[in-house]
Amino acid sequence: MRILIASLLSMAVIVLWIKFLAPKPPTTPPKSSAPISSGATAGTTSSSSGTTSTTPAPGNLNKPPAGAATAISPASSAGAPPKADAQERSIVVENSLYRVEISNRGGVVKHWLLKRYQDDCDGRRRDDACLEGDPPKPKPQSTLDLVHPKASEQVGGWPFAIVLDDPQMEAAANSGLFVAEEADTASKSSGEATSFKNVSASALAAPAKLRFSWSDGHLEVTKEFQFDPATYVVRVAISAKYNGMPIQAGVAWLGGFGDLTVSNPAPVETVYTYYNENGSLTSLPYKKLEGPEKWEPGIWQGGKEYAGIQDRYFTAAFLPMPGAPSGSIETRYWKVSHSVPGQGQGAPEVQEPVSEMAASTSAKPLALRIYIGPKDYDVLKAMNPPMQALVNFGWLEIIADPLFHGLRWIHDYVPNWGWSIVILTLVINMLLFPLRISGYRTTLKMQRVAPEIKQINDKYKKYKMNDPKRQEANKEIMAIYSREGINPVGGCVPQLLQLPIWYGLYRALNGTVELRHAPWFWWIKDLSAKDPYYILPILMGVSMYAASKMTPMTATDPQQQAMMKFMPIGMSVLFMVIPYPSGLAVYILTSGVVGIVQQWYLNRKHPAIPALPAAKLVRSSKKA
């Protein structure tokens, strides 16, 4: 009985630990791969701490000290003539999956909307991410935008900003008015080399290829974007020249990433920069990142298969072009900060960290593929290189991974994730039923000898727990277990096996985009979020209580019996206080209902044998 109570208490500790103390997606310190220098900084080494340096992003908050600028020797040849647009304008490109708005000021992305995904606003929330207009009013649910305009405005950097070794040149390029052109379809259809013409419309449909070019007479920058009609992958080519000589350039994701409307945890807690090296994924939360002033210009951390930035469900991954050698991606990562409203009306603004990163290669011009979309397991696995490691199942991946794949297999035949969870629960409980039968038989035996165990405990209760006499009590109890063929742990095995299943399912529900905003029926609109009306937690507690009342009680101590009755209530309260996924409550509720049915069957098939009086048990033990 003590083992069962300890198991249940351990379960409660695990549940609380998952919420408050569980590790975030696994993080490891940056590998000590040799940094790669570029431009005039060739030969520069990494700092003694083992981390390598990075060029800061543009904007006052992202610039290193002026003395850190890299000197670039002018070439003998003259630079390109100045080239710039007369005014700022935006171009929209869309396909069936996304809608992208690109500004010709810097050739940066101002919005990246995923058409198949919505944010978490509901027209009632009054937090900053879900307010719009003047005066601010709650906005309804809308298409998810992975760009954070407010943060980008503050930090002075946007996604797809260029990264150069010289911060002054970098700032000039990212603020310049680029001339926007689109690929001429006539030349493309005739088989000629791609030629470009002025953009004919402010909105284009993929497939489309855009070129943005700018020059101040010395620095010349060209960006090309190629959008496919039915994938989340965009091909980007960036050429940078100074006085006609190619210089290394990178492309950055600045200003924050992901779904700003999530809660529990806050968005900043879900964003990680990452890189993959030799098949091992390293994820870095903002707490592991340093400010841009800590990085020297011209240094890239090389040898990466891919790098990027992600939140719980979405990612922007920078990958090499097909045919490029493995490990050709170079990366940098840092954090800046921006102001957000404080908690409560009239509270002062507070500083919130913003994770940023950049990617490059040693080749000039730079050419990359960039995947910007959901962390869909199948889609990521089909990429080259495969990126399914971004779907993080936590430290119990060995259980969460097969649970997710089993759930997804069921969903192929039952196109509702809620009913798929119910079916998965039925399958798991039927597989565990033989153990339940064995545990039930053990419980009956323990119930039969409970008076004798109580008599022994009463006999030795006057001794302290560290008294040697207590060891004699344990020996007598174990002798009874041995005589009756009782395994004291046997009755707890089914409950113990449910604990890792609960955690594994929690990770699968909480970390896979397939379950995000997945409805069940009626009031359950999102199986990855808590039950808004707490109906499932209440029903879950009722089913657990009913199942416990039908199960033979082996405890004779009134305190232990009260603890057993309190556990279902405690579980319900936990699900009300802590926002666990309603899908997990569906699993536990279904398990409780199945447990009631199974226990009813066991009680009829194997009725409890009345316990013998303690005196008879003592006499029988003496005869034995």
Containing 561, the helix (H) or strand (E) segment is helix 558-577
Rounded to the nearest 5 degrees, what angle is found at the Cα of 71, between the Cα atoms of 156 and 39? 90
pLDDT tens profile 46-86: 333 333 433 333 333 343 333 333 334 444 456 689 999 99
Helices (H), 414-534: 417-460, 468-484, 493-511
pLDDT value of residue 19: 52
Burial 106-138 (b: 16+ CB within 10 A, else e): bbbbbbbbbeebbbbbeeebebebbeeeeeeee
Parse the chain into domains and list their residue ranges: 11-17+403-449+490-623, 27-65+88-341+349-391
Q: Which of 333, 341, 283 is nearest to 312 (CA)?
A: 283
Containing 163, the helix (H) or strand (E) segment is strand 161-163
Cα–Cα distance for residue pair 478/193, rounded to 1 Å: 86
Token duo for residue 224: 């090309």
User: How far is CA 287 from its chain centroid?
Assistant: 16
User: How far is CA 117 from its chain centroid?
Assistant: 16
pLDDT value of residue 335: 96
Q: What is the CATH number of domain 27-65+88-341+349-391?
A: 2.70.98
User: Dihedral of CA 339/354/39/316: which sign?
Assistant: negative
The conformation of residue 83, written as its DSSP 8-state character, comes to B
Cα–Cα distance for residue pair 447/309, rounded to 1 Å: 57
Residue 228 CB neighbour total at 10 angstroms = 14
Instruction: Give the global pTM.
Output: 0.81
pLDDT value of residue 606: 73
pLDDT value of residue 373: 97
Residue with the two structure tokens 């279904």: 590
Low-confidence ranges of the chain (pLDDT < 50): 1-8, 17, 22-34, 37-76, 190, 614-624
Say whether 128 sits in a helix, a strand or coil: helix
Q: Which of 95, 107, 93, 91 is nearest to 58 (CA)?
A: 107
223 residue type, one letter? K
Cα–Cα distance for residue pair 262/129, rounded to 1 Å: 9
Cα–Cα distance for residue pair 200/56, rounded to 1 Å: 35
pLDDT value of residue 573: 85
Cα–Cα distance for residue pair 80/179, rounded to 1 Å: 14
Q: Which of 440, 468, 386, 412 is nearest to 603 (CA)?
A: 440
